[in-house]
Structure 1
C-alpha cells in the first residue's frame, strides 16, 4: 500500500467500507458493524477535531503576524472575504438555475403533489399565512373529499424528534436581534470557545485580535511569541501526518458505519430512500459536481494559470477524499493546509490566514444544496416561487452560510431559516432528511475545494505561490 498515493488509499478504504456495509446488511451483521467497526470512524473524526480548533487558533495568529504590515492584512482580508462571497453567490445561482431547468419536484406523480399541496394549505391556514400564489385546493369542491381523507403531512413531520431539535435551533436563531451575529463573534471566554466546535468564528476573532496585537509591540518581545506559535503549529502538523497514516482504515470504518446505520439489515432501504428522492439527489449532485469539476478548475485556470487540471486534483485529492468521508470542512482543515502548502506550494502566510476563515465562512456546497432543496420542496407541493422569492433564497442562503458551523448536517438548521424566509413549512426538511447525510459528504468536498481555490487565487495575487509543475505534487 505504501507505493499507492494517499488519496487513492483513502478512496480504496472508502469503497471497501461501503461494500462491507452492504454485505453486512445482506448477511444480517449490521449491528456488529455499528458496534465494532463504526466506533473507529468516530475516533478518526474526534482526532481530527482535536487538532482542528487549536490549529485554526495558532495558524491564524502565525499568518497575521507573518504579514507584518497591518495595511497588508486589511487588503488581504477584504480580498479573501470578497472572493468567498462571490463564489457563494455563484453556487446559489447555479443551484437555482439547475432546479428550475430540471424541475425535480414536478417529476413526482400528480396525485402525491396534490396531496402535498392540500397539506401545505392546511399548514398555512393553521399558521395564519397567506397563500402567495392565490391557488386554493383546500376549498375547491373537487378536492374537498380528498382534503378530509389525507393526513396532514406537516403535523406528522413535526413529531419527528430530529426535526423538532433543528426547528428549535432555527427558532432561537430567528428570535435573536439584528446585531446578534456580530455579538456572537466576540467571545467572553476564549477557553469556552475553544471547547465548542460551533464557536469557530469566536476562535478566529481572538486569533486575529491576538495576531494584530503582535504587530504593534516591539520585535524583541513579539519574536519569542511568534517562534512559540510556529513551533506549536509544526507539532500539530506532525500530528496530522501520524493520523493520516491510518486514514484508509479509519475511512473504511467511517463509511461502513454510515451506510450500516442507513440500511440496517435490509439493503433495500438504501435503494428505496434514493428511489423516492432520486431526481432531487441527482440535481443536487449535478450542481455540486459542476462546482468541483468545472467552476473551481476554471477559476484556477483564469486567475492562477500555473496548475494544470489533473495536477490540481492530484494535489488536493487527500483533502477531498477526507472531506467526503468526514462531512466536516473543519475536521478536514489540517489536511487541507498540508495539501495546499506542500503540493500547491502556497506560502504559509496565505494558507494560515485564508483557509481557516474559509473552513468557517465558505459554504458553497451547502448554499447550492439549500437553493435546490427549497425550490424542490416548493415544486413538490405545487408552489410556484416568484423571481423575488428566489432572490430572497439567494440572500438568505448566503447570509445563513456565514454563521453555519463547519460540522456535519449544520446546513439543515440553516435550511429551516431559508424555508421560512419564503413562507414555506420548515418541517419539510423531514422529506429530504433520508438522503442528507450522503449529499452532505459531497457538498463538503465542494466547500473544501472552494477553500483551496480561493487561497490559491489570493496567493497568486500576492505573489506567494511557488508551484513549479507536477514535480511539486507529493501525495
Structure 2
C-alpha cells in the first residue's frame, strides 16, 4: 500500500480547561444524584445554594456589564487594522447565522414535523404570529412561554402536554443558540487564523450543543456559554466582544426559532400520544357518566384515581 493510501491517526494535548469533559462529568453526576434519591439531598442542597449565590453575583455583573462591554468593544476597535474589513466579515457572519437558522427552522424542523405528524407545519406556524413577535421583541424564551402555552391551547392541544413540553423546551431546547455558538466559534477562529481541523469542529459542535442546554432563557444568555465553546479551541474569552455588535439582533432571531421549535415539539408529542389521550378521555367520560352509582361509591372511585 502506498503512503498516499495510509491514514495517519495522530493526537495531541493542548493546554486549557477540558470543558467538554466537565460537561460530560456534570451530566453523569446529575444522573447519579437522581438515582441516589434522598441520600443525595445534602449535595443537592449545596448545589442549590451555590446556584442562588451565583445568581446574586450575576445580578451584580449585569449592573456593571454596560461599562465593561464599552471598554471591551473599545479595546477591540483599537486593535483593528482594517475596520472596513472587519465590518465586511461581520456581515458575512451575520448572514451565515441567519441562513443556518432559516434552513433549520423551515427545513430540518419542517421535515421532522412532516415525518412525525404526516401534516404540513405551515398552518400551525401561521397561528404562531403572536408567539414569534413576542420572542423577537423580548429575546427571551422564558418571557415568551405563557404566550406559547396560550397559543398551543388555542390550537386545541392537550393542556397536560403543553404544560409539560413547553417549560422543558424553554429551558433546554436551545437549538438556535447551539447553531449560533458553533458558527461564532468558527468565525472567531478564522479571524484569529487558528486552523480548525475536523476533530476541532466536531468538539465545537458537541460543546455548543451541551452548553446551549445549560443556557438560561434570558436575552443574550448564549454569550455566557460562548466562553466554554471558545475554550474548547483555546481561543481567548475576550474575543466574544468581536460579535457583540450584531449579537443583540441575532439573539432575537435565534430565540424566535427556539420558541417555534418548542410549539412544534408540543404538536408532535400530541400527535404521537393521540391514542393514549383518546383512551384517557374515554375512560374519564365513562367514569363521569355513571350517574346510577351511589355518592359514596363515586367518592371512593375519585380517591382511587388520585
Q: State the TM-score, normalized to the length of structure 1.
A: 0.42
Among 243, 257, 266, which residue is 1:455 paired with?
266
Structure 2 distance, partners of 1:353, 1:362, is 13
- Counterpart contact for 1:328–1:406, Cα < 8 Å: yes
Equivalent residue for 2:228?
417
2:141 and 2:98 map into 1 onto residues whose CA distance is 18
Alpha-carbon offset, residue 305 of structure 1:
2.4
2:65 is aligned to none
1:321 corresponds, among 115, 122, 133, to 133
1:372 is the counterpart of 2:156: no
Give the drift of 1:455.
1.5
Correspondence for 1:302: 115
Greater relative contact order (Cα < 8 A, sep 6+): 1
Shift of 1:196: 10
Q: How does 1:174-193 map to 2 (within 5 A)?
A: 178-179=25-26, 182=30, 188=45
Unaligned runs of 5+ in 1: 1-128, 131-169, 200-270, 467-475
Root-mean-square deviation (Å): 3.9
Measure, in 1, the Cα distance between the counterparts of 2:50 and 2:264.
28
Between the aligned partners of 2:54 and 2:159, the Cα distance in structure 1 is: 24
Secondary structure at the residue paired with 1:409?
Answer: coil
1:299/1:453 contact within 8 Å kept: no
Contact 2:20 2:207 in 1 (8 A): no
- 2 CA distance for matches of 1:321 and 1:393? 31
Equivalent position of 1:51 in the other structure: none
Paired residue for 1:285? Answer: 98
Change (3 A) 1:422 1:276: closer
Corresponding residue for residue 334 of structure 1 = 146
User: Aligned pair 1:381/2:219, yes or no?
Assistant: no
Match of 1:446 among 242, 257, 268: 257
Cα contact 2:23–2:210 (8 A) shared by 1: no
- Separation (CA, whole Å) in 2 of partners of 1:299 and 1:408: 27
Give 1:309 shift.
3.9
Aligned residues, how many?
A: 227
Which structure 2 residues correspond to residues 182-331 of structure 1 after superposition, within 5 A?
Answer: 182=30, 188=45, 275=88, 277-306=90-119, 308-331=120-143
Q: Could you say if the C-alpha distance between residues 177 and 442 of structure 1 is closer, same or farther in structure 2, counting changes exceeding 3 Å?
A: closer
Deviation at 1:274, TM superposition (A): 6.0
Contact 2:204/2:229 (CA < 8 Å) preserved in 1?
yes
The 8 Å contact of residues 20 and 232 in structure 2, kept in 1 or not, is answered as no
Matched, 1:427 2:274: no
| Structure 1 Cα separation of the partners of residues 150 and 51 of structure 2 | 22
Residues 337 and 371 (structure 1), Cα distance of their counterparts in 2 relative to 1, 3 Å cut: same
The whole-number CA distance in structure 1 between the counterparts of 2:153 and 2:51 is: 25
Aligned pairs for 1:168-179 (under 5 A) are 178-179=25-26
Report if aligned partners of 1:273, 1:434 keep a CA contact under 8 Å in 2: no
Is residue 398 of structure 1 aligned with residue 214 of structure 2? no
Cα distance in 2 for partners of 1:196, 1:174 equals: 24
Instruction: Structure 2: state its 5+ residue gaps.
Output: 1-13, 35-39, 57-83, 279-306
For residues 373 and 176 of structure 1, do their structure 2 counterparts lie closer, same or farther at Cα, with a shift above 3 Å needed?
closer
What SS does the corresponding residue of 1:398 show, helix, strand or coil? helix
Deviations 1:350-391 (A, max 9, x none): 111111011001100000001100111111122221111111
Question: 1:350–1:458: 8 Å Cα contact kept in structure 2?
Answer: yes
Q: Deviations over 1:105-144 (max 9, x none)?
A: xxxxxxxxxxxxxxxxxxxxxxxx67xxxxxxxxxxxxxx
